[in-house]
Chain A
Amino acid sequence: MSRRRFAALALAALACTSSDKNDDAGGPASRSGSVDLTGAGATFPYPLYSKWFSDYATATGVRINYQSIGSGGGIRQLSEGTVDFGATDGPMSDEELSKAKGGAIMHFPTVLGAVAIAYNLPNVTGELRLSGPVIAQIFLGTIKKWNDPKIVALNPGVTLPASDVLVVHRSDGSGTTYVFSDYLAAVSPAWASGPGRGKDVAWPVGLGGKGNEGVAGQIKQIPGAVGYVELAYAKQNNLPVASIQNAAGAFVAPSIEAVTAAAAGVGARLPANTDYRISIVNSPGADSYPISSFTWLLVYRQQADSVKARKLIDFMRWALTDGGKQAAALDYAPLPPAIAERLRQRLDSIQISASGG
């Protein structure tokens, strides 16, 4: 008990959170100022979310305060009930869901992200092609040289150097790592039974960089380096990125269209009662980029405060309707229209208690 309270306190201190928080999400709104909703979580979608919140405040006057403290922090704060909604890049585990104090938590995908494989090969121009098993072997440390026959076989006509492959990975816990390791586990049995999937992984080889910028900085500095960064980050920094063989056998470069295609490929087969805690890595479809993922908003199914609940649902309906338009401009892939429509209908299943407000 005290340990958990301490964790929450430490978290609050770490995030320099504002003081206007309720101890109980269900309690009467006692906050000062004009903030109507508070949220916390993933850093990856933060640039887009902050644009959404500012546009939404302009359009409706509803103000939303979001702290991009990381998916783990968002999950913890929502579980403790110190925020009205959370946000995460990796779906919550059953264990995490069972610990939430406010009951069942629902996952709502908002946009899509992708992980790009960036590299530094000064004398290689043009496209570098990689397949899932080859990427897994590079990150397992079994492929050690750039001119390994397995890489050469994927890249006919490209002269690859005989230099060492230097793996760069994230050192901080990250949703990006979750998506990437989820993909490696999906395409490589050796990876699945070894390092496995998670936000922090015991990497067999390589250097750790803090944040996308840390990984990108080391890739840029070290010839022969290869690592993974968010697509938006790779695009905005013009890093060379590999085309990756998808489940249909086609080599696809990371792009917004290819990521949305990956979601559409999985979305077409979703059962009606899905909880949306789904992985879209290695998605079927010839146009799908295989290392793609949803990012989610987390809300309680049972909303105790009716005023806040209506504001939250209205905002989510707006985000699922108009939010996708801003996504592409900021290098996020919008949801396929069919999934967005299903999610709008799913908002009706959030239950608002009669009391409160």
Chain B
Amino acid sequence: MILAGVAPGDRVYQLAITAFALVVPALLVLIAIAIGVAAWPAFATAGLSFITSSEWNVQAGKFGAAPAIYGTLVSSFIALLLATPLAVGVAIFLSEIAPKWLRQPVAFLVDLLAAIPSVVYGLWGIFFLVPMLREHVVPFLRDTLHLGSTPLFSGPAYGPSMLAAGVILAIMALPYISAVTREVLLAVPRSQRDAALALGATKWEMIWDAVIPYARSGIIGGIILGLGRALGETMAVTMVIGNRPEISASLLAPGYTMASLIANEFTEATSDLHLSALMAVGAVLFTITLIVNAIARWLVWRVASGPRS
């Protein structure tokens, strides 16, 4: 209609392109429907207790995914807490401070972190990270910093734990946040920096007051990309988190995540309800990811449309 009266070739092109553009959202909707239909029996059986109950007992047919939901959120939160300052720091260093000859090699190595298969991270986690946490980091937190009395670091520390999962996720999310932040910082116009310096700002003031605010929405986008990586990561987390469906205040206690739960139990799930419960976990993970992305969009929009300081 818009192109009425134009050459038929253009019309074919428009139709083709429109079809391509619609395939992707259609795919998303179809996935959501398929998971929703498959998950329905579990939701119908367990009701609200599916997301509030902590009892996951396949033999008894009781499916409460609260520990896995909790574990996914907490491990991803720890990951962002650790990765964000580090990744943004790396990006600032590489775009603003590092000498030219150092930028490319360091940026390349940081990006390379994203290329390591997650099972390799998992192996490294089992054989290096977990023993190191148990033998060095935990004693340091408890004996030197006296954090053992706080609930966060109480209880026995065997190694595989929520903390280990958070640390490994931080390393995996770091290159994503860092790469996006670096690109965004590099896109900040030269004039922005020159203006700040001309007004007598120090280099630090220039970065903090002129460059970072300009790049804020992009940096948040990078953090959300890292969060998406952390929420969905399966293999490496499964190998270090201890796979225990229990909610514990202590970060040193083992936990579980939704992705790990599905990966662990899917191959041997034979009963219809068990299979449906795993689909329901998938549906919850899907929903949480959508919500997180929606929040991110809103944050980026708010930051981008707000006044720049």
Residue B56 lies at the interface, judged by CB distance under 8 Å to chain A: yes
Residues B244 and A208 in contact, CB atoms below 8 Å apart: yes
Do B264 and A172 touch across chains, with their CB atoms under 8 A apart?
yes
Which stretch, B83-91, B125-133, B139-147, touches the partner chain A?
Answer: B125-133
Cβ–Cβ contact A202 & B58, under 8 A: yes
Contact B242 A76 (CB under 8 A): no
Q: Does B270 touch A at the CB level, under 8 Å?
A: yes
Establish whether residues A199 and B268, one from each chain, have CB atoms under 8 Å apart when the complex forms: yes
Q: Which residues of A contact B258 (CB under 8 A)?
A: none
Closest to A206 in B: B244
Minimum C-beta distance from B270 to chain A (A): 4
- Per the 8 Å Cβ criterion, residues 194-233 of A in contact with B are 195-203, 206-210, 214, 217-218, 221-222
Which of A64-72, A280-288, A324-332 sits within the interface? A64-72
> Are B268 and A210 touching (Cβ within 8 A)?
no
Q: Which of A3, A75, A196 has the most CB of B within 10 A?
A: A3
Contact with B along A107-147 (1 / 0, CB 8 A): 00000000000000000000000000000000000000000
Interface residues of B in 55-100 (CB under 8 A from A): 55-60
Contact A210 B38 (CB under 8 A): no
Q: Which of A4, A175, A210 lies at the interface centre, i.e. has the most chain B CB atoms within 10 A of its CB?
A: A210
Nearest B residue to A15 via CB reads B267
Residues 152-187 of chain B, each 1 if its beta carbon lies under 8 Å from chain A, else 0:
000010111000000000000000000000000000
Assuming A172-B265, A173-B265, A208-B242, is B58 touching A2 (CB within 8 A)?
no
Whether B55 contacts A202 by the Cβ 8 Å rule is yes
Q: Determine the main DSSP class of A at the interface with B.
A: mixed
Across the interface, do B267 and A14 meet the contact criterion of CB distance under 8 Å? yes
Residues in A48-84 with C-beta less than 8 Å from chain B: 69-73, 75-76
A75-B270, A173-B268, A221-B126 in contact; A6/B160 too (CB < 8 A)?
Answer: no
Q: Are the CB atoms of A14 and B58 closer together than 8 Å?
A: no
Confirm or deny: B271 has a beta carbon within 8 angstroms of a beta carbon on chain A. Answer: yes
Q: Are A200 and B265 in contact, with the CB atoms below 8 A?
A: yes
Tell me, rounded to whole Å, the shortest Cβ–Cβ distance linking A78 to chain B. 11
Q: Which residues of B contact A174 (CB under 8 A)?
A: 268
Pair A198/B58 contact, Cβ less than 8 Å = yes
Assign chain B's interface to a size class: 35 or more
* Candidates A6, A14, A171, A202; contact of B38 at CB < 8 Å: A6
Q: Determine which of A4, A173, A198, A202 lies in contact with B264 in the assembled complex, contact meaning CB atoms within 8 Å.
A: A173
Chain A contacts for B245, CB-based, 8 A? 202
The answer, yes or no, to whether A95 is at the interface (CB within 8 Å) is: yes
Please give me the residue from chain B that is nearest to A198 by CB atom.
B59
Which residues of A (80-102) have their CB < 8 Å from a CB of B?
Answer: 93, 95-96
Q: Which residues of B contact A171 (CB under 8 A)?
A: 238, 243, 260, 264
- Closest CB-CB distance, A7 to chain B, in whole Å? 6
Bound: A93/B242 CA distance, A: 30
B106-153 interface with A by 8 A CB criterion? 126-127, 130-131, 134
Task: Indicate which residue in B56, B272, B274 contacts A202 across the interface (CB closer than 8 Å).
Answer: B56
Q: Is the CB of A222 within 8 A of B158?
A: yes
List, in ascending order, chain A residues with CB within 8 A of B238's CB.
171, 210, 214
B37 at the interface (CB under 8 A from A): yes
B239 contacts A by Cβ under 8 Å: yes
Least CB distance from A131 to B in Å reads 24
Q: Are A202 and B57 in contact (CB under 8 A)?
A: yes
- Whether a CB of chain A sits under 8 angstroms from the CB of B275 is yes
Q: Is the CB of A221 within 8 A of B244?
A: no
Known: A7-B275, A202-B56, A217-B126. A209 touches B243 (CB 8 A): yes
Bound-state Cα–Cα, A172 to B270, Å: 13
* Given A6-B34, A6-B38, A208-B264: A166 touches B269 (CB 8 Å cut-off): no
Q: Looking at the assembled complex, report how far the CB atom of A305 sits from the nearest CB atom of chain B, in whole angstroms.
A: 25
Residues of B contacting A166 in the complex (Cβ-Cβ under 8 angstroms) = 158
Residue pair B270, A96 in contact (C-beta under 8 Å): yes
- Within the complex, the shortest CB–CB distance from B121 to chain A, in Å, comes to 14
- Answer whether residue B276 sits at the interface, using C-beta atoms and an 8 A cutoff: yes
In the docked arrangement, what's the CA distance between A197 and B60, Å? 11
Contacts of A200 in B (CB 8 A): 58-59, 265, 268-269, 274
Decide if A314 is an interface residue (CB 8 Å cutoff). no
CB within 8 Å for A70 and B242 given contacts A7-B275, A195-B59, A202-B59: no
The minimal Cβ–Cβ distance linking A199 to chain B, given in whole angstroms, is 4
**With A171-B238, A195-B59, A217-B126 as contacts: A71 and B268 at CB distance below 8 Å:** yes
CA distance A210 to B272 in the complex (A): 23
Tell which of B41, B59, B242, B267 touches A207, judged by Cβ atoms closer than 8 Å: B242
Cross-interface CB contact of B270 among A76, A201, A202, A222, cutoff 8 Å? A76
Question: What A residues does B40 contact at CB under 8 A?
Answer: 3
- A322 contacts partner chain B, Cβ-Cβ < 8 Å: no
User: Which residues of the partner chain B approach A76 to less than 8 Å between Cβ atoms?
Assistant: 270
Partner of B160, one of A14, A71, A197, A207: A207
CB of A20 within 8 A of chain B?
no
Which of B34, B57, B159, B266 is A221 in contact with, Cβ under 8 Å? B159
A-B contact pairs, 8 of them (CB 8 A): A3-B37, A172-B268, A197-B59, A199-B58, A202-B56, A202-B59, A208-B243, A208-B254
Q: Report A's interface with B, CB cutoff 8 A.
A: 2-4, 6-7, 14, 69-73, 75-76, 93, 95-96, 164, 166, 171-175, 195-203, 206-210, 214, 217-218, 221-222
Q: Residues of B with Cβ closer than 8 Å to A?
A: 34, 37-38, 40-41, 55-60, 126-127, 130-131, 134, 156, 158-160, 238-239, 242-245, 254, 260, 263-272, 274-276
